[in-house]
Structure 1
Amino acid sequence: MTAPYKAHTPEELSTAFGHVREWVFDLDNTLYPRHCDLFAQIDWKMTDYVSELLGKPKDEARKVQKDMYRKYGTTLRGLMEEHHIDPHDFLDKVHDIDYSPVEPNPALGALIAALPGRKHIFTNGDVPHAKRTTDRLGITEHFDGVFDIVASNLMPKPEVEPYHKFMSEHAVDPTKAAMFEDMPRNLDVPKTLSMRTVLVVPARGSEHSAEDWEHKVENDAAIDFATDDLDVFLADVLQAFEIQPATSDT
């Protein structure tokens, strides 16, 4: 795997991304840094949901939830498969969180806006959660669309079906696309589809909540680049293109 903190020359970045006209971003722990721990709130809401549904104490419910997450890609999918829950009730409840830990980042918005082509969000969350998150970041206006777990018929990444449905519905040519993700296993399919892939890892020295397996890279070949700072990485790509992002006034 490309070292997360390796500097790349403008020539390398220009060659790697010069053809890209479809910029696809995961949402949670990708467009905002993992150390703000926004997703940790959702994670514990899911534990509460499992605890109430199964009548188990939280420590037991936590283990059930994590087992489902790893096996099915999302806790939601596991609960649907094993307990036939109402997915919309689940999504409403687990996304009832405080978004204030996410710091506004209009500079990121300017960088995304300057990228040549269309910009997409492809998330295992839902559209309302995505909008509240990007509104908090101050970057909502820079995206052409959001493909969420509902649009994917509640089938999550890393299953192959959501990627094909996303590309079909949004007319995305994968050979002209780049995908940014915090979960290594979610980049396996994009790589097989000839997308350029970028793994967004936690900032060095940061404290955050995560399962050890979430960051385990089992397929080095699926990751073209890795970074612990999305802003810096996008700025370097734009510099390689000799594009100057607009200065934000906010």
Structure 2
Amino acid sequence: MTEWSGYFGLIMQGALVTVQLTVMGSALALVMAFIAGLGRLSRFFAVRALATAYIEFFRGTSIFVQLFWAYFVLPFVGVTLTPLQAGVLALGLNVGAYGAEVVRGAIQSIGREQYEACTALNLGRWHSMRHVVLPQALLVMLPTFGNNAIELLKATAVVSLISLTDLTFQAQVVRAQTGNTLVPFTTILILYFMLAMLISWGVRSLERRMARGLDGVRA
């Protein structure tokens, strides 16, 4: 029993690394989603082209290859990252590319009458986006952002390939040391599910709160 307690401690250490990856990767993905999503809607061709190139590249290439590039190839050009930094960078940029299309689509879904109301109130482009369009678009984005965060959580397992001690890596360590596959992998299966449910609950709670706050705007 004491031996298995130690192995469980290893898995919980891996869970902490997975949570760090998910939180930091999601933060980077959110930033990149808004930068690229708004870039796709820019009136300037160069900005639109740059945003489109980023989105298509990271959606069209494998997360495995992106991770290996971040960790193994970037040092050749003088950029050396720790396994955690490489994992956050690859996951954030990859998921951010998918999130960018969510941002673009949500903003374009806002009715023309909202923009006309902003014009009638003599609001500039920036103030219209910040105070009227984005608050309503965010409510549309949230469910998909939640799905993206869960996908990022599950994708953190790839960092075990660069020896980052996440949940999957620690489960493999326990399996190698005990010869038991069922216990460690069932444990991390439950932990991944619990973390995903926590993300879903958080997003639903935020969605309800924002919906109440937008009652006045929609009216």
- Identify the structure with the greater helix proportion: 2
TM over 0.5: no
TM-score by length of 1: 0.27
TM-score by length of 2: 0.30
